[in-house]
Amino acid sequence: MTDSDEAVRTSARGWLTLQLAALGFVGLCGALKAGGSGASPAPRGVEAAAGVLVLLALGLAVLAVYLVGRTAWPPAGGPEDPVRAARRLRTGLLLTFAGVLLTAVAATSAWWPAPDAPGAGAGPGAVEITTSTGRVCGELGTGSGSLTLIVQGRAVDVPLTDVTSVTPVAGCGSA
C-alpha cells in the first residue's frame, strides 16, 4: 500500500463520518417535521413533489455512503488503483451534497403560505361594531384609546365611548 492509497482511505474515513452526521441531522429534521402540528398548507402536488425529492435524496445518500465507505475500507483482494479510489470518493461526496440539496428543496414545502380564510376582505378576526351612528365590519387592529378596525385595507379608529356592541362574524360582506 502506497502513501497515496493511505491518504485517500484516511480522507474517505473522515468524510464518511461527516456524511453520517449530516444524514443523521437531516433525519432528525425530518422526524421533527413529521411530529409537527397538523397538515401542511402546501397543495397536494407540492407535497407529492417534496416526497419524491426526499426519496431521491435518500437513494443518493445511500449510494454516496456506499461509495465513500468502499473507498475507506476496500474489499480484500489485492491493491486498488488510487486514481479510481479518489474518483469514487469524489463522486460519493458530490452525491452527498446533491442529496442534502434535494432534502433542503423538499423541506421548503413546509414554508408554504397558509391559504386565506374565507370572507370578503376580512380574516378570522372579523368583527362587526355597532355604534350610535351605524355599523362597521372589519378585522381587529391595534390602537391606543380607541378600537381600531382594518376595513378594506384602511385603519378605522372608533372611540370606545361610541361602541354599543361588538359581534364576531365569519366574514364581512361586500360594501
Write down the domain spans for the chain: 3-111, 126-168
Over residues 107-152, the pLDDT tens digits come to: 887 777 765 534 334 445 788 889 888 888 888 887 777 888 888 8
pTM (two decimals): 0.59
pLDDT computed for residue 94 by the predictor:
95
Assigned CATH topology for domain 126-168 = SH3 type barrels. (2.30.30)
CB 88 within 8 A of CB 5: no
Over residues 48-79, the pLDDT tens digits come to: 888 888 889 888 988 999 999 999 988 887 77
Alpha-carbon distance 171 to 138, whole Å? 8
Alpha-carbon distance 73 to 66, whole Å? 10
For the chain, first and last CA: distance in Å? 84
DSSP 124: T
Q: What is the mean pLDDT of residues 161-172?
A: 86
